[in-house]
Amino acid sequence: MQHFNNKITWAVFSVAMMLSACFAQADVTISKDASPYEIATSAYKATVAANGSLTNFSAGGEEFLESKVSISRGSYFYQNGVVEIAKVEKIDDQTIKASSDKAEVKYHFNDTSTNWTISNHTKDLMVFFVILNRNVHAARTSSGSYIKLPTTDTWQSSNFYHDKTKVSISGITKVWPWEADSQVVEFDLGSNETETISLTPGNVTAVETAKIAAISQPKALIEQTLTLLSPKNYQVFQRRSRTEGAILLSGRIQPQTTRLEVRITGNPLQGTLLGSWQNVPIVGPDQAFNQELKTPAGGWYKVEVRALKGGKVVAESGADKVGVGEVFVGAGQSNSTNSGQEKIQQNSGMVSAFSGSDWKIANDPQPGVHDKSGGGSFWPAFGDAMFTKYHVPIGVAVTGHGGTSVNQWQADGELFPWMMTRIRQLGYRGFRAVLWHQGESDTGMTSEEYARKMTQIIRESQDKAFWQFPWFIAQVSYHSPENPIYASTRDAQKMLWDSKVALEGPDTDTLTGDNRDYAGKGIHFSPKGLRAHGEMWSEKVGKYLDRVLAK
């Protein structure tokens, strides 16, 4: 009987412990009954601001959201701009709701996690963004591997790592990088759609720490007998005439080397390459070499470099794909960067992109953009169209930033030096022209003001580069099917053409309907529109180039 009573006592105790654990999971404190709300649990702290955004989420003393970069609020709805949330209220001891006529988010806080129910009340696509703190440095992919952030990928859930703490996020549509090395986590909501997001913090395990350390450590620097700085693989050098240009060969060799040779092979546009080894002068105590090699237009060429000592080859280097063709710098706002609906690829194999440090085949997303956008662009289609017409490799260096005004591109801002860095890296007469696609952000500006400010940018860029390179200005003002044209912006762009400050670019306001994303309702381009956009640019640039090459 005593044994039976002990069993009952133990059962009652066990149930009590289970109930206690259940109640502990609801151990949530919301600081007050009016916004901004401060939420605290044993696992995390959070803040819901007066505008309905969850602006802070910290665990283990480490902040996981970034609310102070550009338009970011930490977490927020976006549909052709930030969606304003007017009503924020506490529903119960664990729930806060923020709502408007367009969208709603209901934050439910548990002791160990938080679940957000997000709703789109409109008929159009809406996105919900969570911007991660720049110190969130790694993530686990859907396949279970670990990668450094920021990155571009499509995931449904992932762990995101900040030193000794991680946060698991589920319900994800995709992730992509943004300015200041921040990581965007995107959640897409269709017409009148509701989805659930969960955030669960935890401690980073020893295994995870080791795997993250493995991807974070830089490769050991190895002193080499032969260091080749130029050319790089997939590098394109601007040709100087229809049939001729030069490849820059530069680098250094160690003192024990007594001779340096180079050989270039391949199929030029016209004529033939020597295809034999040529001597390269070595200059100074640093054993440096820096020589322009006169080369026919064309490519891809194979450039081989070898160092010899006493007639014996002691080191080799080179690049398998080098071109002498046409190079262009891109600048402007989102439709000049990677903001298209889908990433597209070049098909010719003859289009490459320069990031500021390396060259690569120009499949989207394009490297080197200031906004670190990760979608589609017109550049692959532009490059393919240019190669089809001129049969030489095409290089692009894209520097734009989405949503920017002509005011932000003035010489005293951040964007102008970013563009000028790329221009200086390409060098004197190292590219054909700047292609500028911008204007959507300045439709409220007068024609005269826009033309004056754009002229300042162009003149300043030419002065600082010490040569008068051409600018092409697109005619662009499109916002939506309801607002396809803004006369003041278009007039300003035409003023720049008429005054000979810039050359005429394409009229992309004509790309409407299914050329635009979100089933023709968006401001950016669909894959069809991106390809049409690239071909339009090729047509305008081609008319100018035909005149130049005919001289």
CATH number where 239 lies: 2.60.40
DSSP state of 65: B
Q: How far is CA 387 from CA 325, 347, 401, 537, 538, in A?
A: 9, 10, 26, 13, 10
Q: Give the CATH number, domain containing residue 43.
A: 2.70.98.10
Is 2 a member of any domain? no
User: How do 174-178 and 146-148 pair as beta strands?
Assistant: unpaired
> Can you state the angle between helices 447-465 and 415-426, rounded to 10 degrees?
40
Percent of the chain with pLDDT over 70: 93
CB 440 within 8 A of CB 474: no
Is 162 a member of any domain? yes
- Same domain for 316 and 360, yes or no, is no
Lowest mean pLDDT among 152-156, 178-182, 402-406: 178-182
pLDDT tens digits, 191-211: 899 999 999 999 999 989 888
Is 258 a member of any domain? yes
- Same domain for 481 and 440, yes or no, is yes
- Same domain for 294 and 335, yes or no, is no
Alpha helix ranges (H) inside 178-285: 206-216
- Same domain for 294 and 352, yes or no, is no
| Averaged pLDDT, 341-357 | 95
Q: Which residue has the higher pLDDT, 114 or 309?
A: 114
| Averaged pLDDT, 127-142 | 88
Is 169 a member of any domain? yes
Give the residue from 293, 322, 351 where a domain finishes: 322
Give the residue from 197, 216, 235 where a domain finishes: 216
- Same domain for 75 and 201, yes or no, is yes
Q: Give the C-alpha separation, 257 to 41, whole Å.
A: 66
Is 1 a member of any domain? no
- Same domain for 447 and 313, yes or no, is no
- Same domain for 390 and 422, yes or no, is yes
Other C-beta atoms closer than 10 Å to the C-beta of 86 total: 11
- Same domain for 347 and 377, yes or no, is yes
Question: pLDDT class for 2, splitting at 50, 70, 90?
Answer: very low
- Same domain for 465 and 499, yes or no, is yes
- Same domain for 458 and 539, yes or no, is yes
Give the residue from 182, 216, 250 where a domain finishes: 216
Is residue 352 pLDDT above 50, yes or no? yes
Is 11 a member of any domain? no
pLDDT of residue 26: 58
- Same domain for 107 and 55, yes or no, is yes
- Same domain for 183 and 241, yes or no, is no
Is residue 223 pLDDT above 80, yes or no? no
**Among candidate residues 349, 424, 375, 365, the one with its CA nearest the CA of residue 398:** 365
* Helices and strands in the chain: count of H runs, count of E runs: 8, 32
Is residue 447 pLDDT above 80, yes or no? yes
Q: Give the CATH number, domain containing residue 366.
A: 3.40.50.1110
Percent of the chain with pLDDT over 90: 70
Is 8 a member of any domain? no
Mean pLDDT for all residues in the chain:
89
Q: What residue numbers bound the domain in which 77 lies?
A: 29-216
pTM above 0.85, yes or no: no
Q: For the purposes of burial, counting CB atoms within 10 Å of the CB of 228, is it exposed (0-12), middle (13-18) or buried (19 or more)?
A: buried
Is 12 a member of any domain? no
CB 432 within 8 A of CB 328: yes
The number of folded domains in the chain is: 3
